[in-house]
């Protein structure tokens, strides 16, 4: 009897909490999310549960299922509610162009509150206009081909060390690729100085990243709270790095991203520099690691494609062997020119980016009420162009689930292939990402063979789609 009373009380309390949250959600919706122009209807769709919306449905299952079911039910434009934000999702090339290119001034780049607070409000992702243009110019200056071609040997060294550390053991591909891409990111940001700060930066960032997609509840014990503490410590480490470089008066001597940010003529504050450094690490790490993980899986499942890539890379290796080596007779390091002789490997990267669609969507926010196709997109609502839906449209890419790099022998139609986004806010680091992937694949395919371990059909989500368990593989040198 006593247990029944306790259970009854708990159920009553739970019902009260749900009812209370529903009332708050309704009040907030009326106060902040009610359209100021009632003449136009909102797009069709569902806002889900109070506060949490449909966040769990999106991040706990195949995003293809979530998006496709919504699109089938409501059409190419629909509303939902994720990560505490009311959203309008769009899934046609024309709509993506409208939001990202032709009417981009009506939609500012944004992220959920949790990411914005963790990355820093001065990061390039959250701005448009003159400040954004200035930051983009600085990032491109450090990541354009003329700048990154000089670090190809350093990237190759990181790739070779990574592969050697995986030899003969069972590894989690995604976790190891995250370490590789993190080290390349630090190299591109701090240059040769990165080795001095690698471990401290890694320790803090690994804590920070765990809260990127958490609810922004800053209470002790929550992921968000732990992440914000790590964010504070990370900013302190970056402040020391910036101060040390200034004391050495070597700012102009550094051609890395930090040197670009610290140029005397730019006038960025230390906080602006720190926010953007953290933002670049965020943008450069997990996405590239995810692409590499999927490439390993797709190559392992498609022997003919793997053979074609291997033959292409072995031809480059033979050419390097025929060239004069160093004083110890070792093969010359890869060069920027070598990476431009990899068309087959480049098509594999393109097709992986399409099939896996690492970035399922991007976040924008309407800066005013916007009309699109007879619907109202209210000011303050998030707008999400769904890259995944476009990349998996059978009208655009026949047999979209099939891994077929040959489809990129012909350039795709405009606005149908956007793995790095589109418009003025497209990823400025895409050349660096492609470079580090090509360098790693050169050594992986010419010097190693691997086998996937365990079930190979499962996919996990949160937030990126990944092979189950991060794709366990066993890597062995070729004999």
User: Residue 322 has which token pair?
Assistant: 């025929």
SS3 state at 427: coil
Segment 45-92, tens digit of pLDDT: 888 776 677 777 776 667 677 888 888 888 889 998 887 788 999 999
pLDDT of residue 111 exceeding 50, the answer is yes
User: Residue 134 has which token pair?
Assistant: 């200035």
CA 50 to mean position of chain CA atoms: 28
Distance CA 392, CA 353 (A): 11
List the one residue out of 354, 347, 352 whose CA is nearest residue 471.
352
Sign of CA dihedral 94, 368, 118, 237: positive
CB 469 within 8 A of CB 172: yes
Segment 194-252, tens digit of pLDDT: 778 888 898 998 888 887 767 777 788 888 889 889 999 999 999 999 888 888 765 55
Residue 412 pLDDT class (50, 70, 90 cuts): very high
List the one residue out of 301, 257, 260, 308 whose CA is nearest residue 283.
257
Instruction: Return the pLDDT at 69.
Output: 83
Helix (H) or strand (E) holding 374: none
List the one residue out of 159, 149, 233 whose CA is nearest residue 197.
233
User: Residue 18 has which token pair?
Assistant: 């749900």
Using DSSP bridges, classify how beta strands 448-452 and 472-477 pair: parallel, antiparallel or unpaired: antiparallel
DSSP lists the bridge partners of residue 377 as: 370
Using DSSP bridges, classify how beta strands 382-385 and 85-90 pair: parallel, antiparallel or unpaired: parallel
pTM: 0.84
User: Residue 39 has which token pair?
Assistant: 């003449």
Instruction: Return the pLDDT at 128.
Output: 80
Give me the chain's average pLDDT, please: 84
Which residues are CB-neighbours of 372 under 8 A, at least 6 positions away? 77, 90, 95, 98
Query: φ and ψ at 20, to 5 degrees?
Result: -65, -45
Instruction: Characterise 21 by phi-psi region: left (phi > 0), alpha (psi -120 to 50), beta (else).
Output: alpha
CB 429 within 8 A of CB 283: yes
The full DSSP string for 165-221 is: HHBTSEEEHHHHHHHHHHHHHHHHHHGGGHHHHHHHHHHHHHHHHTTTTS-----TT
User: Residue 111 has which token pair?
Assistant: 């992220």
pLDDT of residue 26 exceeding 60, the answer is no
Where do we find the tokens 């029944």?
Answer: 4
Distance CA 280, CA 103 (A): 26
> What does the buried/exposed string (b/e) look like for 307-317 if buried means 16 or more CB atoms within 10 Å of the residue's CB?
ebbbebbeebb
Instruction: Return the pLDDT at 331.
Output: 65
List the one residue out of 401, 419, 415 whose CA is nearest residue 360.
419
DSSP lists the bridge partners of residue 167 as: 475
Instruction: Return the pLDDT at 9.
Output: 44
Distance CA 33, CA 446 (A): 56
List the one residue out of 129, 167, 90 whose CA is nearest residue 478.
167
The full DSSP string for 112-155 is: -HHHHHHH-TTSGGG--SHHHHHHHHHHHHHHSHHHHGGGHHHH
CB 191 within 8 A of CB 254: yes
Q: What is the mean pLDDT of residues 130-156?
A: 91
Q: Is the model more confident about 68 or about 329?
A: 68
- Comparing 116-130, 219-233, 330-344, which segment has the lowest mean pLDDT? 116-130
Sign of CA dihedral 429, 404, 397, 343: positive
Helix axes 152-166, 430-447, angle to 10 degrees: 50
To which CATH superfamily is domain 39-477 assigned? Cytochrome P450 (1.10.630.10)
Residue 254 pLDDT class (50, 70, 90 cuts): low
Please check if 427 is assigned to a binding site: yes
Distance CA 290, CA 306 (A): 18
């Amino acid at each position: 009897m006593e247990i029944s009373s306790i259970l009854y009380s708990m159920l009553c309390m739970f019902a009260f909490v749900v009812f209370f949250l529903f009332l708050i959600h309704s009040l907030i919706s009326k106060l902040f999310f009610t359209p100021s122009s009632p003449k136009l209807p909102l797009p069709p769709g569902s806002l889900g549960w109070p506060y949490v919306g449909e966040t769990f449905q999106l991040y706990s299952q195949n995003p293809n299922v979530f998006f496709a079911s919504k699109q089938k039910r409501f059409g190419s434009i629909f509303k939902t509610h994720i990560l505490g934000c009311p959203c309008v999702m769009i899934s046609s090339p024309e709509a993506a162009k409208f939001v990202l290119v032709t009417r981009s001034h009506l939609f500012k780049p944004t992220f959920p509150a949790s990411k914005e607070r963790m990355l820093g409000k001065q990061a390039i992702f959250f701005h448009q206009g003159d400040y954004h243009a200035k930051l983009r110019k600085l990032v491109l200056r450090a990541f354009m081909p003329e700048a990154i071609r000089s670090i190809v040997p350093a990237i190759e060294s990181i790739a070779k060390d990574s592969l050697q550390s995986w030899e003969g053991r069972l590894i989690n591909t995604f976790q190891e690729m995250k370490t590789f891409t993190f080290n390349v990111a630090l190299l591109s940001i701090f240059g040769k100085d990165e080795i001095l700060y690698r471990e401290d930066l890694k320790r803090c960032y690994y804590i920070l990243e765990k809260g990127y997609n958490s609810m922004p509840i800053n209470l002790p014990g929550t992921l968000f709270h732990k992440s914000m503490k790590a964010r504070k410590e990370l900013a302190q480490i970056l402040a020391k790095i910036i101060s040390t470089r200034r004391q050495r008066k070597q700012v102009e001597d550094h051609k890395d991203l930090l040197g670009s940010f610290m140029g005397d003529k730019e006038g960025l504050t230390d906080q602006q520099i720190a926010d953007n450094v953290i933002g670049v690490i965020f943008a450069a790490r997990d996405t590239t690691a995810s692409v590499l993980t999927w490439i390993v899986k797709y190559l392992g499942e498609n022997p003919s494609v793997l053979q074609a890539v291997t033959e292409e890379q072995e031809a480059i290796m033979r050419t390097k062997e025929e060239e004069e080596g160093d004083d110890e007779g070792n093969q010359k390091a890869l060069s920027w020119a070598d990476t431009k002789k990899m068309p087959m490997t480049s098509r594999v990267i393109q097709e992986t980016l399409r099939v896996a669609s690492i970035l399922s969507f991007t976040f924008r926010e309407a800066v005013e009420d916007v009309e699109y196709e007879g619907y109202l997109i209210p000011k303050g609502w998030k707008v999400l162009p769904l890259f995944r839906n476009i990349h998996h449209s059978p009208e655009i890419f026949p047999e979209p689930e099939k891994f077929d790099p040959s489809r990129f022998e012909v350039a795709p139609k405009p606005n149908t292939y956007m793995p790095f986004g589109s418009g003025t806010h497209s990823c400025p680091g895409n050349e660096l990402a492609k470079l580090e992937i090509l360098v790693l694949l050169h050594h992986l395919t010419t010097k190693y063979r691997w086998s996937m371990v365990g079930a190979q059909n499962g996919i996990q989500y949160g937030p990126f789609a990944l092979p189950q368990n991060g794709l366990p593989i066993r890597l062995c040198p070729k004999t």
